[in-house]
Structure 1
Amino acid sequence: MSEPSSAYINDIGGDVKGIIGDGDVKGIIGDIKGGVVNQYIIAQHSEAEIHSRNLKPGSPYLSLNKFEPGDKDKFFGREKWIIKLSNDLKNNNLLLLLGASGSGKSSLVQAGLIPYLSDQWGTSQLVTIIFVPDNNPFTSFSENFPKNIRIKRLIFLIRQII
C-alpha cells in the first residue's frame, strides 16, 4: 500500500505528526484545523481476489460443530481456562462446568481439558465419559459408562468423589 500523498496531507491541513501502521493498514496522526485527526486508510481487496485464495489446510474453524479430543491442535487460546479447570479438578475430585448453551463448554472439556489431563496424568489415570444428558441424566450416564471398567475401579472412583 502506498503512503498517503503530500497533496492529501496538505488537503487535510494542520500539523501532521506522523504516519503509523504498516502493510494494508496505515494511519495519519496529527492536529487538523483546530481538531485532532486519527484517520486510517484500509486497503480493500476485490471479492474475486478473496474468493480465489485457498484455505489453509487444517483450518481451526469448525463452524457450529464442537471440538473433540482429536481437535486439540486446532483448539487454542484457552490455556488459562484449561489449567484452571485442571487445578479445580485436582483439588476437588469433581468438576462442574456451567454455561450458556453454545458457549463452548463441550469444546473446552473435550479438546482442551481431556487432552491436557491425558498429557499430565497419563491415560491410565483418566476415565473419560462423554454423554449428552436427556430427561434422566443418570440413565444417560450409566448407558454411556465404559463397559470395560471393573466395578471395583468404579467404586474406588466414586469414593474419591464423595
Structure 2
Amino acid sequence: MALFSETADVSVRPAVVGDESAVTAVQVASWRSTGVLGEGVIDALDVPAMQERWSSAITSPPGPGFAVLVALDGPDVVGFAAVSPGQVLSLEVLPESQRAGHGSRLLAAAVDRLRSDGSDTVTTWALADDAARAAFLEASGLGEDGRSRTLATGVREVIEHRWSAGI
C-alpha cells in the first residue's frame, strides 16, 4: 500500500460541471432517509428539473456569494452544501456516509466561504421533525433563533425552523 495517493481520501471542493447528478442523488437520498417529508413528497419530486437547477447553480450562480460545494470520499461525491450571502441554503450527506465527518467539513467550508464574502453570521433552515439535523446543528454551535416557516409542498405542509450563529 502506498503511503500517499494522488487525491485526498476525504475533501471538500467547489462543485463543477458534471456534479449536478450526484448532488441531486444526494439530496433525494438524504430527504428520503429522514422520513420527515413523507414518501408522497419524495415521489412527487421532479428529479430531472432538480438536476437542471443544480446545473444552473453550479455553472451560473445567481449572484455574488452563491456557491455549491461538494464533499468527496475519494473520487465520489457523498455530500454537498449550497451557500448564499450569510446563509447555508442546503447541506446534505448520503445516509450511508453520515457520521464520517463530511457534514462537519461541508459546514466548515461553507462558513469559511461566508466569512470570505464578509458575513459575520450564518443561518440555515432545518425541518422541524429532523432530530438528527437539529443535533448536528446544535453540536456545530448553531441555535434555533425563534423563526419558522411553512413550506407548501403540494402534498403536505412542512415546517422548518431557522438556526443561526455568529461567525
Pairwise same-fold verdict (TM > 0.5): no
Superposition TM-score, scaled by structure 2 size: 0.23
Q: Which has the higher contact order (CA 8 A, sep 6+)?
A: 2
* Bigger share in strand: 2
Q: Which structure is larger by alpha-carbon Rg, 1 or 2?
A: 1
* Bigger share in helix: 1
